[in-house]
Chain A
């Protein structure tokens, strides 16, 4: 029970502080993985892939999946409820002073600083995913100049370069590339 309350509280915090779309929840998930034994950082990319390949908002999907890893169906519901609760409360409050809020210069000012910071946070989370994808170790601390050569996955790097090129050249739906990479992973036993 206590554990579930902590789960709701943690996702309430994520809902309150993740501004700017689903991927903004990423740095918070990494923090959760460090802090609690609910899931490991190496599971986070799997969660992203599943969230991207299922309908609905990314943040909700991530919360549901994380909650499920925590304690099954009840965990899913608690995490998702925690995530959306702060925004529901804020929206109900804001909708009364809608116009004032939109034209408030301090909201604009705050976002001038928030947007690049959130980008940096998402970038940092992406960096963690990248290290886990290209090296045979998800932990940055385990890598050093001496072992970096033996830890790096050559096939993974080739796939990475090919995908980076392909996703920018042909704007297909992410699911297409996710399925494709899963097949490549199975065929070449990555």
Chain B
């Protein structure tokens, strides 16, 4: 029971004190999980991150599930996962409740008109970063452009775009490999 509580509290702390998720969580994870608790080695944490990136879902939550499962099986996985999302769920619920009461105020509306502009800038910067990592050849440019255009102008669920891109990736890469050998 105490182990489960420790898992919960540790991931609570990491989730509650890091902003942005993803790689921003890495230094905190190393400090808490590797150095303080010794639940995993540094290499293992990096492995979890790598796997977290190629499984659906949120990398930090996936890492928490992994470490919790390794320590205490399924109960551990649940304790760590719930801990990892607990602080942000509480904080965001609080903000949402407050905001809903003030959303009609002119000041709040002006503030959000400004915020909308900065959010679009943040997304553009994020896409720029993704471009460097994910567009490695000409075909990737075509895939990115096609997914952008379809998403903007065709009324279709992103689910289908994701599935089609995965199948295309497997087909093209397998084809290239067959050609090589």
Q: Interface on A for B, CB 8 Å cutoff?
A: 13, 15-23, 26-28, 31, 34, 45-46, 48-61, 64-65, 68-69, 72-73, 76-77, 80, 83-84, 86-88, 90-92, 94-95, 98, 101-102, 105-130, 132-134, 140, 156, 159-160, 163-164, 167-168, 173-175, 177-178, 180-186, 188-190
> In which size bucket is the chain B interface?
35 or more
Report A-chain residues with C-beta under 8 Å of the C-beta of B1: none
The minimal Cβ–Cβ distance linking A171 to chain B, given in whole angstroms, is 10
CA distance A106 to B50 in the complex (A): 15
**Contacts known (A77-B89, A124-B147); A54 close to B114, Cβ less than 8 A:** no
Q: Is the interface of B mostly helix, strand, loop or mixed?
A: helix
For residue B134, CB closer than 8 A to chain A, the reply is yes
- Min CB distance B58 to A, Å, is 4
Bound-complex Cα distance A64 to B97 (A): 11
Q: Measuring CB to CB, which residues of chain B are less than 8 angstroms from any residue of chain A?
A: 15-22, 25, 47, 50-62, 65-66, 69-70, 74, 77-78, 81, 84-85, 87-89, 91-93, 95-97, 99-100, 106-107, 110-127, 130-131, 133-136, 140-141, 143-149, 151-152, 155, 157-159, 161-170, 172-174, 177
Q: Which residues of B contact A54 (CB under 8 A)?
A: 19, 88, 91-92, 95
Shortest CB distance B30–A (Å): 17
